[in-house]
Amino acid sequence: MTTMPVGGVQPLADEDGAADLVVRNAKIHTGDPRRPRADAVAVKDGRIMVLGDDRDVAPYVGRSTRVVDALGRRVIPGLNDAHLHVIRGGLNYVLELRWDGVRTLRQALAMLREQAGRTPKGQWVRVIGGWTKEQFAERRMPTTAELNEAAPDTPVFVMHLYQSAILNRAAVQAAGFTRDRPDPRGGQIVRGRDGEPTGMLLAAPSALILYSTLAKAPGLDPAEQELSTRHYLRELNRFGLTSAIDAAGGFQSFPENYDTVTRLARKGELTLRIAYHLFPQTPGQELSDLKRWIDTVRPGDGDEWLRLNGAGETLTWAAVDFENFAQPRPELADYEAEFESAVRLLMENGWGFRLHATYDETIQRNLRVFEKLAAEGLFPAGQRWLFDHAETVSAESLDRVGALGGALSVQDRMAFQGEAFVRRYGAAAAAEAPPLRAMLERGLTVAAGSDATRVTSYNPWVALHWLVSGRTVGGLTLYPAYNRVDRATALELYTRGGALLSGEEEVKGLLRPGHFGDLAILDQDFFEIPEQDIPHIESVLTVVGGRVVYAAAEYEGLDEALPAISPTWSPVAHYGGYQAAARPGSTGALQAELLSQAVAESEQHRQWRVRHGLLPARTVGTGPFDPCFSP
């Protein structure tokens, strides 16, 4: 048996009564108001059997018990992302070049250039979400010229939130964009003076143009999708995530796109508990899709690893208000009749749902439908329902949500789009987008998540930092103190909050005897480190049901080995996923951050001098202005 050596711990229990896993010498935040703190925990058959101190767990240590010394580190309940596109993200993870956490555009473009060199003919380099230009020292997006220089022959697709995408020349050709190709509904193909596509796509405001273009890139075969998903789940485990509620999404069809996680669940190879939703994919046939699913599956079907949670986050496409804050709020046509039919169908058949709703105008229209059904005694009919996002929800709407027994799920989209929101609506409106404190003061059920992977980063600590600090990843303070939460509350939103949305609050979301043995040992103490260091937290040991699913630092090798990433040219195989940076509070980190900004500024100054004839021109991107900044 592989275990962490712990001096002085002797096996006492017989094998029938022995724990499978014991974590001792820890600072455990249980999340349980009945017992907020503990020093040790014992897990057996996937559930917590004992929570206390080392003396309490010692009688349950047997010869087969894995004993882990936490070395005084902070232990928390496993994190639960209440809105994550985990199923879709897993199918494509190993194909994507992740700019999550990259601090300069110069570094991002260097990664892209290197990846283009190893990507085989016929494949694309794709950067899909998890970043914003505000995180870069240069504070700008790449240009089509820079993409063309970095990858002259390999198609490149770079998506920025649900606002826009930039394609190089090869990708424009591969996607079939020509001067005669009309703009799709809700999207714009930007064209030059000659009428030819420039490579810029705008979601104006619909993201369907981004979805449909990305869908033209080659995918993975079923075996590779399984492996990609396993590596993506391991990446989530790296940050202490043990559960997620999958919000479905565009181009995620049921049942075919759910086959991969279903096969992994049957083989016992999931390392993250998933409660999933079903999302009608084709405008005009939403009701027929819902009727078909109602006849074949039921909410609650599955087990503790993979289970159906309900419908959404879209029920009818006409009711979707895309959150492109760089564009005006979309004016939705009449959708209530079809939307009411969908909600009525779900209520009559015992299905709960979640709803994408960015703007209060949409929320109010939806609430009128719900109130009409409630007057007939058909809503909520004992079913769980919630609004997702709700950045501009009003106090009046919150009261109506509460009266109808609804809940809310918030994500850190403003951490990535806050600057755009401020430019359009002003700082005063941004200060309560969303009005988190008002939600909590009303006693509403509120959960937190990320909306990764195509919008924000899947790193939960970025979202937790946003909840606590009220700041964007670019450093802009959005929220005054009254609209922020303390660290314990933020953690509760990212643990028990999600359990409430999936109806699993009796078995997950906190550490208590009888609950799932889901926990994480952190490399830094969330409750004690400087606020600016929160986004840099990672887990050193993540446990799901008593099973070690991720191990690093002193615990490296305690988790299960994964097969090597396939295909071998995968960006993840070379760069990994989230790009961790030095903590701002650590020695030398500030100097490193300033140096990275100096690199970006040096290149900007060089380009200015070239434009003004003060330096000879050279091929863009072939080398740095200052040779000491060479990679």
pLDDT tens readout for residues 335-366: 999 999 999 999 999 999 999 999 999 999 99
Q: Is the pLDDT of residue 512 over 90?
A: yes
Cis peptide before 36 (omega within 30 of 0): no
Give pLDDT, residue 149: 97
Give pLDDT, residue 602: 58
Output the CA angle 589-593-596, nearest 5 degrees: 140
Q: What is the model's pTM?
A: 0.91
Task: Give the DSSP H or E segment for 464.
Answer: helix 460-469
Q: Is the pLDDT of residue 2 over 70?
A: no
pLDDT tens readout for residues 203-236: 988 888 998 999 999 999 999 999 999 999 999 9
Q: Which residues pair with 278 in a beta bridge?
A: 311
Q: Please report, for the chain, the start and end positions of each structural domain, with discontinuous segments joined by +.
A: 93-215, 222-541
Calculate the CA 179 to chain-centre distance: 36
Give pLDDT, residue 628: 40
Cis peptide before 155 (omega within 30 of 0): no
Q: Is the pLDDT of residue 6 over 90?
A: no
Mean pLDDT of all residues in 548-554: 97
* Strand bridging mode 66-69 / 47-52: unpaired
Percent of the chain with pLDDT over 70: 91
Q: What backbone torsions phi and psi does residue 586 show, to the nearest 5 degrees? A: -85, 160
**Cα dihedral across residues 458, 459, 464, 469: positive or negative:** negative
Q: Is the pLDDT of residue 133 over 70?
A: yes
CA distance 619 to 627: 16
Helix (H, G, I), strand (E, B) or coil at 494: coil
- Dihedral-angle region of residue 405 (phi above 0 means left; psi in -120 to 50 means alpha; beta otherwise): left
Encoded tokens for 201? 């796509």
Mean pLDDT of all residues in 92-110: 97
The size of the chain, in residues, is 631
Calculate the CA 107 to chain-centre distance: 23
Calculate the CA 191 to chain-centre distance: 33
pLDDT tens readout for residues 467-506: 999 999 999 999 999 999 999 999 999 999 999 999 999 9
Encoded tokens for 148? 């063309």
Output the CA angle 315-132-200, nearest 5 degrees: 80
For residue 117, count other CB atoms closer than 10 A to its CB.
Answer: 12
pLDDT tens readout for residues 167-198: 999 999 999 999 999 999 889 999 999 999 99
CA distance 541 to 523: 9
Mean pLDDT of all residues in 388-401: 98
Classify residue 282 by its DSSP letter.
Answer: S
Instruction: Name the fold adopted by 222-541.
Output: TIM Barrel (3.20.20)
Q: Which amino acid is at 443?
A: G
Question: For residues 524, 528, 530 and 531, what is the CA-based torsion angle, rounded to 10 degrees?
Answer: 90
pLDDT tens readout for residues 73-97: 999 999 999 999 999 999 999 999 9
Mean pLDDT over the full length of the chain: 92
Cα radius of gyration (the chain):
25
Closest of 445, 455, 441, 451 to residue 483, by C-alpha = 441
* CA contacts within 13 A on the Cβ side of 166: 16
What does the DSSP assignment read for 559-620?
S---PPPSSTT-HHHHH-SS-----TTSTTHHHHHHHHHHHHHHHHHHHHHHHTTSS----T
- Dihedral-angle region of residue 319 (phi above 0 means left; psi in -120 to 50 means alpha; beta otherwise): alpha
Give pLDDT, residue 476: 97
CA distance 629 to 599: 7
What does the DSSP assignment read for 320-370?
-----TTSPPP-----HHHHHHHHHHHHHTT--EEEEE-SHHHHHHHHHHH
Residue pair 475/461 in contact by the 8 Å Cβ criterion? no
Give pLDDT, residue 29: 98
Q: Which amino acid is at 222?
A: P
CA distance 221 to 209: 24
Residue pair 85/453 in contact by the 8 Å Cβ criterion? yes
CA distances from 316 to 287, 290, 521, 626 (A): 8, 10, 42, 54
Q: Is the pLDDT of residue 589 over 90?
A: no
Residue pair 94/29 in contact by the 8 Å Cβ criterion? no
Direct distance between the N- and C-terminal alpha carbons of the chain, in angstroms, rounded to an integer? 44
Closest of 234, 526, 279 to residue 388, by C-alpha = 279
Give pLDDT, residue 557: 96
Give pLDDT, residue 626: 36
Residue pair 298/335 in contact by the 8 Å Cβ criterion? no
What does the DSSP assignment read for 144-198?
HHHHHHH-SSS-EEEEETTTEEEE-HHHHHHHT--TTPPPPTTEEEEE-TTS-EE
CATH class of 93-215: alpha beta
Local confidence band at 606 (pLDDT 50, 70, 90 cut-offs): low
Encoded tokens for 143? 């240009």
Classify residue 20 by its DSSP letter.
Answer: S
Q: Is the pLDDT of residue 625 over 80?
A: no
What does the DSSP assignment read for 185-243?
TTEEEEE-TTS-EEEEEEESS-THHHHHHHTTS----HHHHHHHHHHHHHHHHTTTEEE
Question: For residues 496, 498, 502 and 507, what is the CA-based torsion angle, rounded to 10 degrees?
Answer: -30
Q: Is the pLDDT of residue 538 over 70?
A: yes
The order of strands in the sheet holding 66-69 is: 47-52, 40-44, 21-24, 66-69
- Dihedral-angle region of residue 604 (phi above 0 means left; psi in -120 to 50 means alpha; beta otherwise): alpha
Residue pair 132/416 in contact by the 8 Å Cβ criterion? yes
Percent of the chain with pLDDT over 90: 86
